[in-house]
Chains A and B, each alone.
Chain A
Amino acid sequence: MGSKILKFTLNGEPIEIAVSPDEMLIDVLRDRLELTGTKKGCGKGECGACTVIINGEAVNSCLVPAMKASCAVVETIEGVGGPDKFHPVQETFMDMGAIQCGFCTPGMIMSAKALLDKNTNPTDKEIKKAISGNICRCTGYVKIEEAVRAAAEKMREDQ
């Protein structure tokens, strides 16, 4: 099996890594680059736990061949924020109890961020649609929707 040099921008940094043409993006992120914040749930594009943002759009990294990241801008949960400086949507998720077991949270946050990057004044319908591809078996979604709404408000205040 041949290997390809894959170049892309990951969380703001240029990355160059040899991948095999059948490797999926999620496996490159988790197993090769050790960015295990992105979760592998179903591996079939049905749960949304593996959501990352590619060129501004939320996608399931378990369905994306790694080669599709070539020359693209990829964001994972690790690039969104951390203890030094959390993203507003991470803060509101924590403050408002939008996290229970936490497995869906990185994907949920990436879907929410993809929305908020484009629109800091989303309607409830737009929020629901943005996270409709992310399954959460704990929260019942209401607190997640509230947290995204609150994050939007925070981001509007900061603008």
Chain B
Amino acid sequence: MLQDYLFPVTVNEAVSFLQDHKGQARIIAGGTDLMLDIPEGKIETNYLVDISRIPELREITMEDDLIYIGAAVTHNQVAGSELIQQNAAALAQAAGYVGSYQIRNAGTVVGNVCNAQPAADAAVALVALGATAEINTPDGREYIPVEKMYAGVGKSTIDSTSQLVSRISLPAAQGNQGTAFVRLQQRNALALPMLNVAVMVTLEGAHFKWARICMAPVGPGPMRALGAEEVLKDAKITRDVIEKAALAALEHANPRNSALRGSKEYRTSVLPVLVRRALEQAVADAGGSSN
């Protein structure tokens, strides 16, 4: 039963409160998922520790080509941020798809990751963009790639009763790099993704240097299309190689039959098309040509 609701003003204050209440206190940011889970009995807690007023967690900054997104930054702040649009375009697009407009005004990008839903749009983009989370634990700070924060469907490696993800960092896209985010959905708003794909490419002249491709929901968390990435490594940028990579993406995809998201058969057919489109867009974003 919830006994108290607190607003710590520093990260240390938040983490020590968690520590003092040994599993009985839990972090809340936007609360758009948590405040449904508590009444449904999925999560029990005595204390909610609201981090949305810790000044340092409310910022989007860039330093030495690394972008930092604080844990209290909302989806709409990320989607509307010029800094993100210019340096991590796929993330701005992805954040703009989550939930509804009102939910994006409350829910946070870091919360999108910590809630660990397999198709969380912002998390899918963050994995493709190579993001890392800064985690505050009673024993100090740890840094973990966002990709490694999934322990299963809806299960994060983060324990919000003892740990606080204070911010996420990701490298700003350089001149020879491009990003893209593509989403299949039943309508243009208030729709869960049937499939989403985020891509980051690095080009060298007429060749790919490397590509990072993340797709969902085709597994327990955002899934890397490692087979497709292998096809693209150091390959000449052609339609054929992109097509080949798009098909290779299926190696790491296992979409389920879903009443909400479509049949396995349909989504298996469509996924390569989305990967191809995302790659074409990312190549164009990097200033390359796939013709």
Contact = CB atoms under 8 A, between A and B. Distances in A.
Given A64-B106, A132-B189, A70 B7 contact: yes
Interface string A112-148: 0000000000000000111111010000000000000
Interface residues of A, number: 30
Interface string B18-46: 00000000001001100110100000000
Contact of A68 (B31, B102, B189): B31
B3 A46 contact: no
A135 B190 CA distance: 9
B1 A46 contact: no
Contact of B105 (A4, A20, A58, A65): A58
B102 A133 contact: yes
Contacts of A65: 5, 28, 31, 35, 48, 50
A58 B76 CA distance: 11
B101 A132 contact: yes
B102 A59 contact: yes
B189 A22 contact: no
A63 B35 contact: yes
A85 B76 CA distance: 32
Contact of A130 (B38, B99, B101): B101
A48 B52 contact: no
Given A45-B32, A64-B31, A68-B31, A1 B103 contact: no
Contacts of A111: 101-102
A40 B150 CA distance: 34
A133 B100 contact: yes
A1 B2 contact: yes
B4 interface: yes
B100 A46 contact: yes
A132 B99 CA distance: 10
A1 B35 contact: no
A131 B101 CA distance: 8
A41 interface: no
Interface string B112-146: 00000000000000000000000000000000000
A51 B102 contact: yes
A68 B4 contact: no
A59 B143 CA distance: 32
Interface string A23-50: 0100000000000000000001110100
A1 B101 contact: no
Nearest to A133: B100
A133 B189 contact: yes
Nearest to A115: B101
Nearest to B100: A133
Interface of A: 1-2, 4, 20-22, 24, 44-46, 48, 51, 57-60, 63-65, 67-68, 70, 111, 128-133, 135
Given A45-B32, A65-B5, A68-B52, 18 more contacts: A1-B3, A4-B4, A22-B1, A45-B99, A45-B102, A48-B102, A57-B106, A58-B101, A60-B106, A65-B28, A65-B48, A68-B50, A70-B7, A129-B101, A129-B189, A132-B189, A133-B102, A133-B190
Interface of B: 1-5, 7, 28, 31-32, 35-36, 38, 48, 50, 52, 76, 99-103, 105-106, 188-190
